[in-house]
Structure 1
Amino acid sequence: MERLGTGIGWRPEIAEAVERMPGIDWVEAVAENLCPGHLPDSLLRLRERGVTVVPHGVSLGLGGADRPDEARLTALAERAEALGSPLVTEHIAFVRAGGPGTGSPLLEAGHLLPVPRTRDALDVLCANVRIAQAALPVPLAVENIAALLAWPGEEMTEGQFLYDLVDRTGVRLLIDVANLHTNHVNRGEDPARALDELPVEAIAYVHVAGGYERDGVWHDSHAHPVPARVLDILADLAGRVRPPGVLLERDEDFPSGAELEGELRAIGEAVERGAAAGTAAAKTKAAGTVTGPVAVSAPASDAASDAASDAARERVGHAETALLAALVAGAVVPEGFDAVRVGVQARALAAKRAGVVAKVAPELPEILGEGYRAAFLAYAQVRPMGGGYRRDALDFAGHVLDGGAVVSARARRRLRRWWLERAGPTPPTRLTRATRLLLPH
């Protein structure tokens, strides 16, 4: 695996600071925020200097019951080619559920949600990873995610789940040590055990990020400094294998460039500390144990593999739809889940929707003022997201114009103009919707 070195997540808000940082070997950019024909000048300058750029996808939903969307795979491949990237990365997560055969409309989470660690879910994930690998021009690495809640009836630990995934597909791993810490606090999982069980030789690179704890729940915010406990997990990992690359993620509340550089130094020191401890420990072990690459099993025939995954997809689809409906559509919490944790996750998803919609449509909070957040959270309780954040912004504006929130006459006029410029001739109203229902189809 190509050595990447020291990296940082490239974001437009810190682009200039990243360009000035010493010792940056590579950056990672969110794939969905890039247009291959119109790459940001900052990324182009970094590439000209020899800095590697890796596209990091967030919308494939490889852990979902459906096969990966061809258009999303094509878009990810185009970004890898445009950037000359040595690999692309995605997540072991589902981001949407529902649709035909589930008894539910298609629901979007707007967030990465954990897949159940079951044989069914592993079969589906492996099949989806194979599809993605075949469609991408460069190797794929997949990331473990943070979770606020646990699935009932899981059959494997995280390490075992990842080991089997690598063994069956040969996929590389992006290990997020901050997510290991999150799952330690939220799910009682031991990071050291996960590192013991997962195939560290398959690691393509490592993520490091910050978060915060509130009421016994760790929130993987990517908006806070990296805590010492996360650096300790990084050191433990580095004592087992020298990671080809380590990257600092920051997505919100960006500090100064000097503070980011300080965090990068702390990350480098943790890697060196772990590597030194690992070397010392290795010298005390009996000679003769050789660690080689992870063995990859010969895949089953395509027909047998497809049959197994098809049988599992329906069961996984129903399970993921039931959970997502409880999180975003007010449905009953499925049996076996912690209802309190599901509520925490549901509120976090609604808050994230409000925040992202405010970014993609900044005019909305400007028009609605202090009432924006309360109005949006009330809207989110009755309207699941079904078409992405820009569609969500339009739907929210239509909801307000249809009487879904009390706003001033001036705000209503401004909001109507905003809606008309983006959505069509007239905003929907109760009357127009009722009229449409009476029209022949």
Structure 2
Amino acid sequence: MKRLGRLGTGIGWRPEIADAVEAMPGIDWVEAVAENLCPGHLPASLLRLRERGVTVVPHGVSLGLGGADRPAEDRLTALAERAEALGSPLVTEHIAFVRAGGPLTASPLLEAGHLLPVPRTRDALDVLCENVRIAQAALPVPLAVENIAALLAWPGEELTEGQFLYELADRTGVRLLIDVANLHTNHVNRGEDPAKALADLPVEAIAYVHVAGGFERDGVWHDSHAHPVPPQVLGILTDLASRVTPPGVLLERDDNFPEAGELERELDAIRGALEAAAPSESAPAGAAASAPTTTPVAEAEADRTPDSAPARQRLALAQAALLSALVAGTPVPEGFDRVRLGVQSRALGAKRADVVAKVAPELPEILGAGYRPAFLAYAHGHPMSDGYRHDALDFAAHLLLGGQPENTESRRRLREWWLDRSGPAPRSQRPTARLARATRRVLLRR
């Protein structure tokens, strides 16, 4: 198994802080959201960083390795292209599902627009292991997968987080991206002990570590990536570093970006948390740079190809029922905490409104203060099925067909915006193409 070199201290590269990142001292590497990059037109800032010898790692968010379906070939190809274009030593994704429904459940495909937790069951583990192997075979560099934050817990789980991650790494040889902020989130929201999770982890499989901030409201921790890193998260980082020296540590910030000086102080606090660790004699420094050695039992299991269809079917039905309750208002599946599910549902709606406002900034500009309440009302009865950009178009068409907004000038501007971006002929292979063509005919007559 190829060893990964040490990464050092890094920060998540985002366009909003690109200039600040380039000017920061002591940045050894950066991580960029893979879906926001075009291999043939990489941002000039990333190219300049690469020329300086700064490593760039693409971080995927849409593969859905924890979903019931096998990873889509086009998404794997896109991730591989970005790794090659950036000369990256590895790529990373999440242990999560992001969509559900479709052929396995004979129901509409639903998009979460967010990373949702997989149940820690044998069925989910079997499916995840197979999906990870498929991804590993398609990618030109090693893959590392990240533990995620969760607002809710699945009923009937069979494994702890540490056990789940250990078996995943043991059975597939995949690296782990450990997010210590997510361990803190799961401690607050699910009562899980971060120290116990770290004790169960195969530390030799760790590729690198994420550190991020969040906030607590009404006893629920929200992993916002838009707030300062709290002391509790730095404490978990110190605990991890006392067990093994992580090959790399990275600060994530996705919104509400502070001045460069504040980001640099957070990076200094991360370095301080690492220095505060007292590694035990049994935790070899740098051991995490390589993947775990697969046991003979795990090798035998990897070699055989069991029929995963029954497990995929069961997982598909469970995930579709949960996602439908979250985004389409269907009944809450048995065993779930209704209050927490409500919190997650509202969080998904709020994130959806925020992201649509970013990918289509003209909408809040046209609609003004009415944008957010109008979008949330729309989202309640219209689950997302084809990504945020298509969601923005569907929202605008929904308003226009309903005679909204009431202001004539705003309605004219919204109509022109929709017509300009919907294109002369939506692609016929999309399930919504017929509806889009009909909508366009109606709007052109107005």
TM-score (norm: length of structure 1):
0.92
- State the AA in 2 paired with 1:15: A
Question: Partner of 2:387 in structure 1?
Answer: 388
After superposition, the Cα gap between the structure-2 partners of 1:150 and 1:431, relative to the gap in structure 1 and judged at 3 Å, is same
Question: Partner of 2:157 in structure 1?
Answer: 154
Q: Name which of 277, 291, 294 aligns with 2:292.
A: 294
Question: Partner of 2:44 in structure 1?
Answer: 41
After superposition, the Cα gap between the structure-2 partners of 1:431 and 1:266, relative to the gap in structure 1 and judged at 3 Å, is closer
Q: Where do 5+ consecutive residues of structure 2 fail to align? A: 427-433
1:30 Cα deviation from its structure 2 partner: 0.2
CA RMSD of aligned residues (A): 2.3
Question: Partner of 2:305 in structure 1?
Answer: 305
Question: Partner of 1:439 in structure 2?
Answer: none
Matched, 1:23 2:21: no
Q: Counterparts of 2:411 and 2:349 in 1: how far apart (Å)?
A: 23
Q: Name which of 114, 119, 132 aligns with 1:116.
A: 119
Greater CA deviation, 382-391 or 400-409? Answer: 400-409
Percent identity between the two aligned chains: 76
Q: Counterparts of 1:93 and 1:200 in 2: how far apart (Å)?
A: 21
SS in structure 2 of the partner of residue 223 of structure 1: coil
* Superimposed CA distance per residue, residues 106-148 of structure 1 (whole angstroms, 9 cap, x where no aligned partner): 0000000000000000000000000000000000000000000
Q: Counterparts of 1:405 and 1:108 in 2: how far apart (Å)?
A: 26
Q: Name which of 51, 54, 60 aligns with 1:51.
A: 54
Q: Is the 8 A contact 2:175 2:291 kept in 1?
A: no
Q: Counterparts of 1:301 and 1:212 in 2: how far apart (Å)?
A: 42
Give matches, 1:276-355, under 5 Å.
Answer: 277-279=278-280, 282=281, 294-297=292-295, 298-300=298-300, 304-307=304-307, 309-355=308-354
Matched, 1:213 2:211: no
After superposition, the Cα gap between the structure-2 partners of 1:293 and 1:101, relative to the gap in structure 1 and judged at 3 Å, is closer
Question: Partner of 2:431 in structure 1?
Answer: none
SS in structure 2 of the partner of residue 205 of structure 1: strand
1:187 Cα deviation from its structure 2 partner: 0.3
* Superimposed CA distance per residue, residues 224-260 of structure 1 (whole angstroms, 9 cap, x where no aligned partner): 0000000000000000000000000000000011100
Q: Where do 5+ consecutive residues of structure 1 fail to align? A: 437-441
Q: Is the 8 A contact 1:368 1:407 kept in 2?
A: no
Q: Is the 8 A contact 2:171 2:302 kept in 1?
A: no
Matched, 1:375 2:378: no
Greater CA deviation, 204-213 or 401-410? Answer: 401-410
* Superimposed CA distance per residue, residues 395-438 of structure 1 (whole angstroms, 9 cap, x where no aligned partner): 000010011754311111110011111115699999957x99xx
Q: Counterparts of 2:336 and 2:107 in 1: how far apart (Å)?
A: 20
After superposition, the Cα gap between the structure-2 partners of 1:425 and 1:73, relative to the gap in structure 1 and judged at 3 Å, is closer
SS in structure 2 of the partner of residue 239 of structure 1: helix
Q: Is the 8 A contact 1:60 1:72 kept in 2?
A: yes
- State the AA in 2 paired with 1:379: Y
Q: Counterparts of 1:73 and 1:293 in 2: how far apart (Å)?
A: 21
Give matches, 1:100-111, under 5 Å.
Answer: 100-111=103-114
Question: Partner of 2:400 in structure 1?
Answer: 401
Q: Is the 8 A contact 1:127 1:305 kept in 2?
A: no
Question: Aligned pairs, how many?
Answer: 425
Q: Is the 8 A contact 1:354 1:373 kept in 2?
A: yes
- State the AA in 2 paired with 1:347: R
After superposition, the Cα gap between the structure-2 partners of 1:429 and 1:151, relative to the gap in structure 1 and judged at 3 Å, is closer
SS in structure 2 of the partner of residue 142 of structure 1: strand
TM-score (norm: length of structure 2):
0.91
